[in-house]
Amino acid sequence: MADLILAVDQGTTGTTVLVVRPDGAPLGRGYREHPQHFPAPGMVEHDPEAIWRSVLQATTDAMAAADVRAADLAAIGITNQRETLVAWDAGTGRAIAPTIVWQDRRTAARCEELRAAGRGPRVRELAGLPIDPYFSATKAEWLLREVPEVRAAAEAGRLRLGTIDSWLVHRMSGGGAHVTDASNAARTMLFDIHSGAWSEELCDLFGVDEAWLPRVVPCAGQLAQADPAAYLGIGVPITGMAGDQQSALFGQACIEVGQAKVTYGTGAFVLVNSGANAPASEALISTVAWTLPEVGTTYTLEGSVFTAGASVQWLRDGLRILDTAPDVEALARSVPDAGGVVLVPAFAGLGAPVWDADARAALLGVTRGTTRAHVARATLEAVAFRVRQVVEAMRAEGTDVRELRVDGGMAANDLFLQVQADVLGLPVTRPRNIETTSLGAAYLAAFGVGLQPTLGAIADSWQADRTFEPADDGAMDDGYRRFERAVDAVRAFAAD
């Protein structure tokens, strides 16, 4: 009897697909990158068709690695880069513009205009979000204003708008379904997180017709059906969906209130389980963690750091001081400290808790004695310092984080995790399976199809690999204070 799960993790730089057992044990993996496009400073785009090709290729690779056929699969779980917006034509089923990626800052001026008009408090009240280019709503405005093909599709009644999860379901189902899950809908700035529905008020504010938007479904259950003719002969139900960070929270088995995780991907995202009530916050994001049948909605408090692993990629691709991203650990270990060098990793602005879309990255404290090793170590410290800024904002708003579960690419770096523990003064725990974003999608799909009967059973599947205990000397505190001064300097420069 088919009992395997296909977990599709569509990320910012590539797509990972796993074939897993219901308990999360992986059998096969596929990964394919897709191109990044930077048409102008502050603009980041993807080709939606290239994303779909990466899904097809990674799925083929994963099934071959696991030596399974479509008949062995019971369900599909999907997790995805959030906020990234796709526009397509319902008649042709094809994308009609490049995706505008979550990192894109082209609508910064529009967001400032809305804040200046006093719209911020009401948007935060309904959506739980600050007005920022990060989210999907102003991206939709821009597409409708600037892309004639999008306007034409809207006027003809054929326009469909959705985040990446909606795009993947559309393609997997052969155009048969236009849905999104509650966790992704909550990242659009068009969704009322309290009522669990699209907000007529927010849609009017951003000029979006609700008819263009997908139907909102829970994160687990019978959500859609894959069409074998459209998706590599796979004809099983899609039973799990969540945005990547909520999926990682689920994959880290942060099922209880107060449990927290950070995922180090392109960015770093700190989430804490907030239970059945959406927390009010000024510095952070209050959003949907997941909505489950017979359980209801669980909320999360989130702090988003826009650049984490992407900072290491900059060392590799921009400065070319690394051959591969994992080389950063050995290079950073070759010096005892950063030698007074401070990196502010504002390559795509600064997210929580300061929300400065105009800030740009800077390398400070450079001397003739500075080496590439000092820059590498400063880069790791910068990500750890940004995570501390988020955790301190959580503490200031009454959320006590006592342990942090970590995952994502940088979680394989032992030096970095020790730095993170020292910077936070908290234990940092890495699980045996650090691909918890994919794992969360698999768990949700298994729960949705009945192969995982309870949340407790999912929590029992989680296993720790290693806990990094913080040093007691407070040696990183001076570095953190210096980092905060550097952030102030970068923001002052951007304001000028």
| Strand (E) or helix (H) holding 168 | helix 164-172
Is the model's pLDDT at 286 over the cut of 70?
A: yes
Is the model's pLDDT at 442 over the cut of 70?
A: yes
| Strand (E) or helix (H) holding 447 | helix 436-449
The pLDDT assigned to 107 comes to 94
Name the residue among 342, 347, 333 with its Cα closest to residue 370.
342
**411-to-151, 415, 433 alpha-carbon distances in Å:** 43, 10, 10
Residue of higher predicted confidence among 24 and 422 = 422
Q: Is the dihedral of CA 214, 235, 11, 442 positive or negative?
A: positive
Instruction: Kindly indicate the confidence band of residue 348, based on its pLDDT and cuts at 50, 70 and 90.
Output: confident
Fold observed for domain 4-252: Nucleotidyltransferase; domain 5 (3.30.420)
Nearest 5°: phi and psi at 22?
A: -60, -25
C-alpha dihedral, 476 to 480 to 482 to 485, nearest 10°: -170
**393-to-203, 279, 353, 362, 402 alpha-carbon distances in Å:** 30, 13, 7, 23, 14
Cα-Cα end-to-end distance for the chain: 65
Name the residue among 171, 246, 265, 251 with its Cα closest to residue 5.
251
Distance CA 238, CA 225 (A): 6
**437-to-17, 21, 299 alpha-carbon distances in Å:** 11, 15, 17
**87-to-1, 175, 207, 208 alpha-carbon distances in Å:** 38, 14, 15, 12
Number of Cβ within 10 Å of residue 393's Cβ equals 20
Is the model's pLDDT at 488 over the cut of 90?
A: yes
Write the pLDDT tens digit of every residue in 64-115.
999 999 999 999 999 999 999 999 999 899 999 999 999 899 999 999 999 9
Q: How far is CA 231 from the centre of its chain?
A: 25
Number of Cβ within 10 Å of residue 157's Cβ equals 11
The pLDDT assigned to 410 comes to 92
- Read off the pLDDT of each residue in 48-69 and give the average, rounded to a whole number: 96
Instruction: Kindly indicate the confidence band of residue 1, based on its pLDDT and cuts at 50, 70 and 90.
Output: low
Write the pLDDT tens digit of every residue in 303-320.
989 899 999 999 999 999
Domain boundary assignment for the chain: 4-252
Instruction: Specify the length of the chain in residues.
Output: 496
- Read off the pLDDT of each residue in 266-275 and give the average, rounded to a whole number: 90
- Read off the pLDDT of each residue in 435-462 and give the average, rounded to a whole number: 88
Distance CA 351, CA 84 (A): 16
Distance CA 117, CA 88 (A): 31
